[in-house]
Amino acid sequence: MDETRRDFLKLAAAATVAGTFGQEWAFAQGGASIEPSDRVYITNEDSNTIAVIDPRSNTVETTINLTSFDEDARPPFRLVTAGIMPTHAAMIHKPLYHGCIDAHGAVPSPDGKFLATSGRGSSNIYLIDAVNKKVVGNAPNPLAGSNTNAERLSSGILIGREPHEPTFARNGKELWVTLRGEDRIVILDVNRAMRQAAGVESGAILRYINTINGPAQVWFDAKGAFAFVASQKVKWTPKSRQNPAEFRLHT
């Protein structure tokens, strides 16, 4: 049986979930109410996929693909070229590869209908339909066949160097993403981003906000009036003159 790298990753992820959580996780869930539609999303940074886990059975239901390895059956697009399977790290740095590099973070929108994830190495973000488990903006693959993907992966939205954890604003209308390599935050309009992910330039990026060095994540207060930013480079103490950044929302 000829298994692709993605099939291997699915099996490995399922084995990891079963072995890691086991009875302890099932016991912890004992007092929780789990709805049939509830799912757990985990980004796999090395494989550039998102594992979708059914918490009722602790199994991987499906895997959302953010790679472009299986869109063209011809070498050098396929996993195996001249009888050799390159490492994943080598494949994602091929010049013809247009998929995600270093997928990181899977954050749901307030209504749970969408996810946002960042490509740390590809400097972009992807939006994902959490209901249908599909990447927003994927297009029909003109080279689709029995052994290729039916869809061609969206290029996502280019936002800046080293995007880390994306976060939806409380109202779900904006997406805030910290850029660790640029010491600033990028703010996107979610509706425009949906169109731009499909390849239609829509001015999804609203603005950039300069912030402290190495911003790692942004989060909001309960009312959604203030955004708080954590840094991986600045060490803060009560006596420090460098305070954590705080921004007031104007939306």
121 HSE (CA, 13 A, CB side):
16
Specify the pLDDT at position 94: 83
CA gap 166, 126 in Å, rounded: 10
**Residue 18 pLDDT more than 50?**
no
Length of the chain: 251
CB-based contact 69:80 (threshold 8 Å): no
Q: Which of 3-12, 114-123, 214-223 has the highest mean pLDDT?
A: 114-123
Taking the alpha carbons at both ends of the chain, their separation in whole angstroms is 55
Specify the pLDDT at position 26: 46
Hey, how many other C-beta atoms are within 10 angstroms of the C-beta on 88? 16
Stretch 93-116: mean pLDDT, rounded?
92
Is the four-CA dihedral 100, 106, 109, 112 of positive or negative sign? positive
Give the distance from CA 197 to its chain's centroid: 13
Which DSSP letter does residue 81 get? B
Stretch 48-56: mean pLDDT, rounded?
94
CB-based contact 176:170 (threshold 8 Å): no
Domain 5-248 has CATH 3.30.70: no
pLDDT tens digit sequence for 110-169? 999 999 999 999 999 999 999 999 999 999 999 999 889 999 999 999 999 999 989 999
Residue with tokens 């895997």: 63
**Least trusted range by pLDDT, from 117-121, 198-202, 206-210, 230-234:** 230-234
